[in-house]
Every structure is written in C-alpha cells, then in structure tokens.
Amino acid sequence: MSASTSPAPEALDLQQSAAVFAALGDETRLRLVAAL
C-alpha cells in the first residue's frame, strides 16, 4: 500500500470531469456521450 497525499484521486478526477462537463456545455457533453 503506497502512501499518497490524496485519499481518493479517482473521486477528485470525477469532480474535475463534472466541472469540465458543466463548463463545456450540453452540446459537447452530448458529443462525448455519442462518441462512447
């Protein structure tokens, strides 16, 4: 087990992704979802 400064980096990534999606807007979000 490695000691990291952030307990859950994955959670931070999710929060950042959510903020980015909100900033980009619905159109870009729909394009990304469609790409998946």
**What residues does each domain of the chain span?**
7-36
List phi, psi (to 5°) of 22: -65, -35
**pLDDT tens readout for residues 12-35:** 788 888 888 777 787 777 787 888
22 in Cβ contact with 16 (< 8 Å): no
pLDDT above 80 (res 2) = no
Q: CA-based angle 23:28:30, to the nearest 5?
A: 120
| DSSP tag of 6 | S
pLDDT the model gives residue 23 = 78
Q: d(Cα 10, Cα 31) in Å, to the nearest integer? A: 23
pTM: 0.37
Residue 34 CB: number of other CB atoms within 10 A? Answer: 7
